[in-house]
Structure 1
Amino acid sequence: MEILKKFKEETIANYIVEKLKEKQDLSRIQELKCKLGIEVCLTNLGKGFVVYLVAALLQVLPLTILFHSAYFIIRISARGVHAQKSSTCTWVSVLLFVLLPLLVNEINLSKIVPLVVSLFVYICLYRYAPQGTKKNQVGTIELRKKLRNRALVGYSICVALIFGTDSTMIMNQVFFGSLLAVVCILPLTYKLLGE
């Protein structure tokens, strides 16, 4: 199944790159970068489709969208741990972005909990973001600073939503979604998952 999926993504990526080459003069390196980027996009779209389909079937799509958006706004810059296999990532994503939002929706937090936790989160983001993996290192000091600052801005947007809403549902989804993104960059998480 995994091999068939990879074959489809590679075939589609090859087709798109060939069409690009008809309009653009690409070097071999540019061609390979385009192909890799397209394959990554297709893989992520496939995973997203599965997650959002399961959320829609379980009638929790709004919860999943809020939770995942809060996670993504930080994760895109802070980065963090990754599953070793694409299929593992898909199933873990269903658990984290469909079932977890459903569970945390029932929690009744006072505003003091997010306030205290947000101070801790800012410290963790400043200290640990961005976190790379063995396959995907972060790079230069300038890039690290840029990504860290983006992660801090992303979290600030989440904090504004958490404290700017009277909706328990919005507060819970944004709070726990953003918190999950930060847990993914902690050294303890890397140690526990053997990264």
Structure 2
Amino acid sequence: MEAEEAVKMGFTESLACRMARRLNKEREGEYIDYLKMKLGFEMLLINLNKLVLVYGAAILFHLLWQTLIMHGAYFAIRKTAFGLHASSSMICSISSTAMFVGIPYLCEQYIRFNNIQVGIIGLLATLLLYRYAPADTDKFPLLGKERREKLRKTTTKSSLLIVLIALAIPSPTIKALVLTGILLQVLMILPITYKLLKRSYNNYENYDAKNV
């Protein structure tokens, strides 16, 4: 039975199933516990695969530290601002590699920012984050007004802090990497981006409406 399931599943899902099944058996957990662990393991493995791909490409093109800086700035905002996800794991892997290797390459070769540009663009980005973050998806609606307000405030503070750090760093290249990381995340939460990609926006409203 397990062999038949493994054939129908992809490698990642099959491995997540085996890991969850073994752990759940040791814990003598219920089926719902198995499903939760399976989802957790699957997400972990998928993200590890993406990291290996992105940073492997970064190392190949001698852009490891550049990718780390941009990705760090992006993730610092992403963890509370949320936003769009790719429609499939493969598209996510390809787009992530293009963004987190391609943009650092452009920053290293062509893009430079001075403090005036960082201040103006950083302030605009922060205002957009305050206005539109956090942004959810149809699969992961952000329920609860208080939760959304807390995420908005945290996102705004994180953005201001990162912009201040960028202002204090003397390197124009690092300024560009930090700022493009923020701007990329801003792009992921804008309503126009959702509209262009034909994705539903403010999905929490569908659930709030049911509770009225």
Alignment of 1:11-26 (within 5 A): 11-26=14-29
Match of 1:9 among 4, 9, 12: 12
Q: 1:146 to 1:108 in 2, by over 3 A?
A: same
2:179 is aligned to: 175
Give the Å deviation of 1:108: 2.4
Alignment of 1:28-177 (within 5 A): 28-105=31-108, 106-177=110-181
User: What residue ranges of structure 1 are gaps of 5+ in the alignment?
Assistant: none
Larger RCO: 1 or 2 (CA < 8 Å, sep 6+): 1
Give the Å deviation of 1:40: 1.1
The C-alpha deviation readout for 1:50-103, integer Å capped at 9, x for no partner, is 111111111111111111111111111111111111111111111100011110
- Any conservation in 1 of the 2:82–2:134 contact (CA below 8 Å)? yes
One-letter identity of the residue aligned with 1:51: V
Q: Give the root-mean-square deviation of aligned CA atoms.
A: 1.8
Provide the rounded CA distance (Å) in 2 between the counterparts of 1:172 and 1:115.
12
Give the Å deviation of 1:186: 0.6
**Structure with max Cα Rg:** 2
1:187 is aligned to: 191
One-letter identity of the residue aligned with 1:151: T
Provide the rounded CA distance (Å) in 1 between the counterparts of 2:176 and 2:144.
35
Normalising by the residue count of structure 1, what TM-score does the alignment of the two structures yield?
0.90
One-letter identity of the residue aligned with 1:58: F
User: What residue ranges of structure 2 are gaps of 5+ in the alignment?
Assistant: 1-5, 200-212
Normalising by the residue count of structure 2, what TM-score does the alignment of the two structures yield?
0.84
Provide the rounded CA distance (Å) in 2 between the counterparts of 1:36 and 1:179.
30
One-letter identity of the residue aligned with 1:45: L
